[in-house]
């Protein structure tokens, strides 16, 4: 009898005790690390890639969805067709979709979004694309027809980027702080300077397929702190982490998976050609001749980069190797400066927060000093960099800066009159117009090669390297990308094993 009472008591104790986490259900939340905090949460009105890292495919959706291998899949558009000249695309929209404020998604919302992106007061980073639309029409609620002024074989890809996010007209004005989209997540909380929390939207059209109920995004700028957060388990995953010097430690730790992937990004020394004497091509060529790309890659990104010589990356249509046009040659740099009559040149070097920029800036300043150029380093925060250096309407208050342009198709930016590089070459603009009006792929590839050579010859910027991005993740978290065709974190595809 006594034994029986003990057994009953033990059984009761187990019944009262909480079950182990595994028995309660699979883990359904994630903490992700990010280097930069977004300046806002509307990817259609600002250039910062950090906005897309939080919002794209999570809060907002686009007509198409770019996959890890760079191919394009349906999203808000369930299908599309194009005319043979690749100038007119007809999109059939998914039915039964609504915005997070209850408003219906339809062709009127798509037309509003694209017209808004092209408006005179638009600050969309891809405004030039939307202004190239001859027309956007909505023949019925489920159909959108986009007519482009030129042949655009990449339009389905371009409309999968964050700048093409479909916004709800009534909420568009407040999306910067109160984002409303059609995606599977809603903004839960934003603690400025610390974190953003996204919560699963219960009314999402395919809510059952979304495995994570909450994602917390922590902003950690310091590389050592990034590594520490991963090792301590405070962060589950860190896409594009600055942990190159700690890779051996992570590879030896069975808790982690280390993913090293390619990108379409271009890290450059941007040169403000509106400033004298930087408007002189000889001075720009001197700056490029002073740059040892290998030393920059080794010092700025610990060897995780491929040298480039133009605003274009290996693997892209028509890529040609232009690194030989402006090779490392300090003596040539000195001669070019002498030819231009420039002595004791002092330049400002404004550096945004990412480690590749800050570390690369120290190396660049040392390399320029060897040829008689003094680069005065000024470290600025991301918001300052965007407003002082990059802003579309100026003032472009800088001489030199280092930045990674992460979008795959950036050549059009060079043609924009207010672009921060200040190149404004009518010859290049005509060549680019030839490119976009040539539907034949082989002919287009040749013209793209010509464009790359022109940018290198004119020393439009100090083209440094195509970065390889490192992502470190808990090995049990699945769906995290290795390759990086664009900056995004598609939480809808993430799940714990």
244-266: per-residue pLDDT in tens? 999 999 999 999 999 999 888 99
> Nearest-CA neighbor of 494 among 216, 195, 133?
216
Q: How far apart are CA 77 and CA 97, in angstroms?
A: 11
Looking at the structure, tell me whether residues 167 and 224 fall in a common domain.
no
Residues 297, 232 within the same domain:
no
Peptide bond preceding 89: is omega within 30 degrees of 0, i.e. cis? no
Rg (CA), the chain: 25
Angle, vertex CA 109, rays to CA 107 and CA 111, nearest 5: 70
pLDDT at residue 2, rounded to an integer: 35
- Tell me how far apart the alpha carbons of residues 280 and 459 are, in angstroms, rounded to a whole number: 10
pLDDT band with cut points at 50, 70 and 90 for residue 48: confident
* Residue that finishes a domain, picked among 118, 145, 172: 172
Q: Indicate whether 218 and 166 sit together in one domain.
A: no
Look over the chain and give the mean of its residue pLDDT values, rounded to a whole number: 92
**pLDDT, tens only, 132-161:** 999 999 999 999 999 999 988 899 999 999
Looking at per-residue confidence, does 384 or 2 come out higher? 384
Does position 23 have pLDDT exceeding 50, yes or no? no
Look up the domain containing 257 and give its range.
183-262+469-496
Q: Within a domain: residue 347?
A: yes
How far apart CA 276 and CA 183 sit, in angstroms, is 47
Would residue 17 count as lying in a domain? no
Check residue 108 and give its pLDDT: 98
Q: What is the mean pLDDT of residues 289-300?
A: 97
| 163 and 297 assigned to the same domain | no
- Give the burial class of 384: count Cβ atoms within 10 A of its Cβ; 0-12 exposed, 13-18 middle, 19 or more buried: middle
CATH number at residue 112: 3.90.76.10
Q: Are residues 198 and 161 in the same domain?
A: no
Question: How high is the pLDDT of residue 332?
Answer: 98
82-94 per-position pLDDT tens digit = 999 899 999 999 9
Does a structural domain hold residue 50? Answer: no
- Does 13 fall in a domain? no
Is 19 inside a domain boundary?
Answer: no
Residue with more model confidence, 383 or 368: 368
User: Which residues have C-beta within 8 Å of that of residue 297, sequence separation ≥ 6?
Assistant: 303, 304, 305, 307, 464, 465
Query: Which is nearest to 180 in space by CA: 61, 74, 76?
Result: 61
* 241, 313: one domain: no
Same-domain pairing of 328 and 398: yes
| 271 assigned to some structural domain | yes
Within-domain flag for 44: no
Residues 326 and 442 grouped into a single domain: yes
Indicate whether 107 and 221 sit together in one domain: no
Please give the sequence-ordered ranges of beta strands (E in DSSP) within 178-251, or none if there are none.
185-191, 195-200, 214-219, 237-238
Per-residue pLDDT for 11 more than 80?
A: no
Task: Look at residues 172, 197, 225 and tell me which one is the last residue of a structural domain.
Answer: 172
Domain boundary among 128, 151, 172: 172
| 338 and 415 inside one domain | yes
Distance between CA 496 and CA 199 in Å, rounded?
Answer: 16
- Cα 413 to Cα 392: distance, rounded to the nearest angstrom: 11
- Calculate mean pLDDT across residues 192-212: 97
Q: How far is CA 309 from the centre of its chain?
A: 21
9: phi > 0 → left, psi -120 to 50 → alpha, else beta; which?
alpha
* Torsion, CA 46, CA 48, CA 314, CA 323, rounded to 10: 100
Task: Assess whether 318 and 406 both reside in one domain.
Answer: yes
Given a cut of 70, whether residue 20 has pLDDT beyond it is no
| Alpha helices (runs of H) in 311-381, residue ranges in sequence order | 330-339, 355-369
Per-residue pLDDT at 10: 37
CATH code for position 350? 3.10.105.10
Q: Considering the entire predicted model, what is its pTM?
A: 0.84
User: Binning pLDDT at 50, 70 and 90, where does residue 19 land?
Assistant: very low
Residue 371 tokens read as: 């040829």
pLDDT at 25: 59
Regarding whether 204 and 80 lie in a shared domain, the answer is no
Asked whether residue 202 is assigned to any structural domain, the reply reads: yes
Number of domains the chain is built from? 3
CATH at residue 214: 3.40.190.10
């Amino acid at each position: 009898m006594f034994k029986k009472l003990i057994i009953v008591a033990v059984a009761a104790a187990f019944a009262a005790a909480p079950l182990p986490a595994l028995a309660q259900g699979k883990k359904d939340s994630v903490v992700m690390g990010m280097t930069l905090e977004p300046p806002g949460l509307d990817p259609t009105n600002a250039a910062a890639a950090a906005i897309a890292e939080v919002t794209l495919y999570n809060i907002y959706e686009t007509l198409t969805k770019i996959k890890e291998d760079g191919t394009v899949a349906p999203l808000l558009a369930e299908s599309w067709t194009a005319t043979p000249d690749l100038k007119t695309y007809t999109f059939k929209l998914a039915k039964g979709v609504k915005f997070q404020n209850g408003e219906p998604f339809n062709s009127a919302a798509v037309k509003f979004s694209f017209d808004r992106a092209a408006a005179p007061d638009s600050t969309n980073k891809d405004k030039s694309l939307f202004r190239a639309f001859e027309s956007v029409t909505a023949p019925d609620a489920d159909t959108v027809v986009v007519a482009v002024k030129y042949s655009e074989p990449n339009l389905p890809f371009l409309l999968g980027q964050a700048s093409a996010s479909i916004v709800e007209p009534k909420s568009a004005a407040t999306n910067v702080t109160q984002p409303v989209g059609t995606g599977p997540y809603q903004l839960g909380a934003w603690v400025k300077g610390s974190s953003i929390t996204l919560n699963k939207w219960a009314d999402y059209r395919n809510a059952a397929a979304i495995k994570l109920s909450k994602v917390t995004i922590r902003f950690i700028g310091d590389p050592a702190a990034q590594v520490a957060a991963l090792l301590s388990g405070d962060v589950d995953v860190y896409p594009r982490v600055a942990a190159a010097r700690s890779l051996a430690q992570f590879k030896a730790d069975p808790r982690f998976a280390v993913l090293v992937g390619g990108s379409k990004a271009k890290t450059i020394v941007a040169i403000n050609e509106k400033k004298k004497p930087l408007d002189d091509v000889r001075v720009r060529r001197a700056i490029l001749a002073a740059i040892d790309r290998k030393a920059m890659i080794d010092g700025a990104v610990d060897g995780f980069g491929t040298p480039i010589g133009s605003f274009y990356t290996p693997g892209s249509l028509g890529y040609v190797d232009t690194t030989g046009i402006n090779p490392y040659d300090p003596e040539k740099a000195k001669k070019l400066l002498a030819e231009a009559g420039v002595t004791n040149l002092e330049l400002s070097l404004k550096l945004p927060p990412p480690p590749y920029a800050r570390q690369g800036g120290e190396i660049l300043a040392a390399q320029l000093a060897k040829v008689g150029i003094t680069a005065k380093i000024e470290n600025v925060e991301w918001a300052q960099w965007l407003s002082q250096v990059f802003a579309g309407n100026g003032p472009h208050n800088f001489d030199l800066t280092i930045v990674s342009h992460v979008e795959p198709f950036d050549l059009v930016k060079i043609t924009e009159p207010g672009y921060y590089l200040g190149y404004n070459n009518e010859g290049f603009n005509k060549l680019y117009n030839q490119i976009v009006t040539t539907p034949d792929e082989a002919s287009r590839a040749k013209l793209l090669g010509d464009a790359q050579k022109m940018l290198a010859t004119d020393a439009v910027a100090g083209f440094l390297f195509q970065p390889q991005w490192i992502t470190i993740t808990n090995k049990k978290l699945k769906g995290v990308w290795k390759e990086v065709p664009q900056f995004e974190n598609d939480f809808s595809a993430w799940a714990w094993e």
